[in-house]
């Protein structure tokens, strides 16, 4: 779906008041939104919608490259190619996998465990033992956040924009956004209910509900958004 296919919704016409914007897509964060919305959107549809606004000069997407095995590598590269084909700027780096032992510390911080009573702790211990009986001793947890890269990009871009559109609910972006707001930039936070931090809500000029903002196709039957496009 190309940018020309979209007609800007009237309720978001306030975005037309900006002279120059850049949209920053924290894609890992956005893929979690699908669980809340029960959608299966394609990221390129979102990008094309953003480019339908003439004052959105750039769309920057942040997403890791998974090289854990050949299948994951193939899917990852296919998604990256699709993103780049839209004209968006892709920021990527290799996903790291952190080996973590199956124990109480995997589920809860030590400070949290101390808040539970003995009965709850016994139940947690039984759960851990049941998991270990399956032969699962450890997991490899993927790690690839772009907090630093995205924050630096927003600061570096500040002289050429009047506003930022941040597609993320992560409170780690509070400080760079505060600096941009001091410089007179408008802050538009795009997210879904329950997945945007209080810090960003307090800081933003306007909150944009992604569920109402996005109007591309919401379901691609039997298709993972990370797979190559077939429809």
Decide: 3 and 45 in contact? Cβ < 8 Å.
no
Please write the tens of the pLDDT for every residue from 142-185: 788 899 999 999 999 999 999 999 999 999 999 999 999 999 99
φ, ψ dihedrals at 26, nearest 5°: -85, 90
CA atoms of 10 and 136, how far apart (whole Å): 52
Decide: 37 and 177 in contact? Cβ < 8 Å.
no
CA atoms of 24 and 189, how far apart (whole Å): 10
Can you list the domains of the chain with their CATH numbers? 3-94+145-213 (3.40.50.1010), 99-140 (no CATH)
CA atoms of 106 and 16, how far apart (whole Å): 46
The sign of the torsion formed by the CA atoms of 211, 194, 206, 178 equals negative
End-to-end alpha-carbon separation of the chain, Å?
11
Q: What is the pTM of this model?
A: 0.81
3 state DSSP class of 146: coil
Residue 2's pLDDT band (cuts 50, 70, 90)? low
Hey, which residues does 206 pair with through a beta bridge? Answer: 188
Please write the tens of the pLDDT for every residue from 185-223: 999 999 998 889 999 999 999 999 999 999 888 877 544
């Amino acid at each position: 779906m190309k940018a020309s296919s979209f007609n800007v919704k009237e309720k978001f016409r306030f975005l037309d008041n900006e002279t120059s914007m850049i949209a920053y897509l924290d894609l890992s964060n956005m893929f979690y939104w699908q669980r809340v919305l029960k959608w299966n959107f394609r990221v390129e549809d979102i990008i094309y919608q953003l480019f339908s606004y003439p004052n959105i000069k750039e769309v920057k997407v942040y997403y890791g490259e998974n090289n854990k095995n050949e299948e994951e590598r193939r899917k990852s590269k296919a998604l990256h190619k699709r993103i780049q084909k839209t004209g968006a700027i892709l920021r990527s780096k290799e996903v790291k996998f952190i080996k973590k032992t199956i124990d109480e510390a995997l589920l809860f911080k030590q400070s949290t465990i101390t808040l539970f009573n003995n009965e709850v702790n016994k139940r947690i211990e039984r759960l851990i033992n049941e998991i270990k009986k399956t032969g699962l001793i450890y997991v490899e947890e993927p790690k690839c956040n772009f907090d630093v890269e995205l924050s630096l990009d927003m600061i570096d871009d500040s002289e050429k924009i009047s506003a930022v559109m941040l597609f993320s609910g992560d409170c780690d972006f509070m400080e760079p956004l505060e600096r941009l707001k001091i410089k007179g930039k408008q802050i538009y936070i795009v997210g879904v209910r329950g997945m945007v931090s209080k810090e960003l809500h307090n800081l933003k000029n306007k909150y944009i509900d992604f569920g109402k903002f996005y109007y591309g196709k919401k379901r691609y039957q039997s298709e993972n958004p990370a797979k190559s496009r077939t429809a």
